[in-house]
Amino acid sequence: MTISISEIRDGIYRISGFVGEYGITFNQFLINDIKPTLIHTGPLGMYSKIEEKVKEVGPIEKLSYIAFLHFEADECRGMELLKVSKAKMICSDLSSKLNLTEWKMPIDHISFWENESLKIGRMTPRFLMTPHVHHWDSMMIFEAISKSLFTSDIFIQPGVNEPVVSNDLLYQMISLYRATGIFANENLVRRTAKQLEFLT
């Protein structure tokens, strides 16, 4: 599998790899600030390649945080990254209480609740709780300075696409949602999408 890295905004990088078996692109994001933060580590087998891409931006030892927007294998199976850095794990409060307490996961983690934030330097990620979109412990991250929204699985990428996309993918995304049943409740997704329109 080929993993690529692209700077999509000043100091924000997309690390992505297309998985032909599923027909979708797996995306991780690196915010290169005073306290560099990686969002997701990818599925099993990708983490070593993702680690190499992180190293292209800066030393892995300087990675401060690794965030999981929900607890699922394709978001956090590459936990090996936590063994090669001093990074702390970030997750939602629900994920901490519902998942991490009974799994052999790193104890040293930070959990967040609605609208709490974490200053990592020039940027300050804010955490938005979106339970059941698409997992019960799901959250999103919004960074106001760069106007960047890290949405987890609410916007899926079928196929191989450029780092920054528009609503050109809307029909393909909706078709894939319906085919896979990725969301349990359409009303929760619609309500969350409406709330995202007013982020500033």
pLDDT tens by residue, 134-187: 777 889 999 989 889 898 777 777 777 776 655 565 667 667 766 766 666 677
To the question of pTM greater than 0.75 for the whole model, the response is yes
For the 3-196 domain, the top CATH level (class) is: alpha beta
Q: What share of the chain is helix, strand, coil (3-state, %, to 5)?
A: 30, 25, 45
Band of residue 195 on the pLDDT scale cut at 50, 70, 90: confident
The confidence score (pLDDT) of residue 167 equals: 58
Let me know: does 5 contact 14? Beta carbons within 8 Å. yes
Domain boundaries defined on the chain: 3-196
Q: What is the DSSP letter of 42?
A: B
The confidence score (pLDDT) of residue 34 equals: 97
DSSP H helices in 43-126:
47-57, 73-76, 93-98
Cis peptide bond N-terminal to 134, omega within 30: yes
Give the residue from 66, 190, 64, 69 showing the smallest Cα distance to 128.
Answer: 69
pLDDT tens by residue, 79-138: 777 777 788 889 888 888 877 766 665 567 888 999 999 999 999 999 999 888 777 788
